[in-house]
Amino acid sequence: MDGLYGVDLKFETAIKLAALHIQQVATEDADGKTVKISVKNMDKDYGGMQRFLPGGIMNHSKEKKLKKVISQQVKQNLTLAAPGQKHMNSLQCKWHYLNIASDIFSYGGKYFNVLLVNSEEKQDDFEKVNVFIYLHDKKTHNILLF
């Protein structure tokens, strides 16, 4: 998840996305069988939490707290299953993931490193900036300079 979203990814949203991603991977690994997801065994089963959480959140939060919060979110996600089902299948996990991700401002945009040229001055004057182009609305393009 690192680098997929800009600075607008909030802790709560990252936890929701991580829990859905964990459920999706666990469901695919189980080949359609009912699976119990153990956040305690994430290192052994899924290669650790860094696979599902951005580095910024991993660096600023204790692993024990993250496991507890993700475990609670996985349990809460059981309510997202279709009526009559106890667990979500892989496709349902992906759909809920994209539904949440689409509300993130940077989803649907792209960051570019560019050089701005000051054409008013006769000397070569360059400025390095990061540009984010938000492509959600096909009619207009909002450009943010950082």
User: Which residue from 64, 59, 49 is spatially nearest to 17, judged by alpha carbons?
Assistant: 49
Residues 6+ apart with CB under 8 A from 144: 131, 132, 134
58 and 32 within one domain:
yes
Q: How far apart are CA 136 and CA 104, in angstroms?
A: 11
Q: How far apart are CA 51 and CA 43, in angstroms?
A: 10
94 and 37 within one domain:
yes
**pTM over the 0.85 mark:** no
- Ordered per-residue pLDDT tens for the chain, 146 residues: 444 554 567 889 999 999 999 989 888 887 767 777 777 777 777 788 888 888 888 888 898 899 899 999 999 998 888 888 888 888 899 999 988 887 776 665 666 666 666 656 555 566 666 665 555 544 444 444 44
Instruction: Kindly state whether residue 2 falls inside one of the protein's structural domains.
Output: no
Number of separate domains in the chain: 2
Whose tokens are 């540009």? That residue is 131
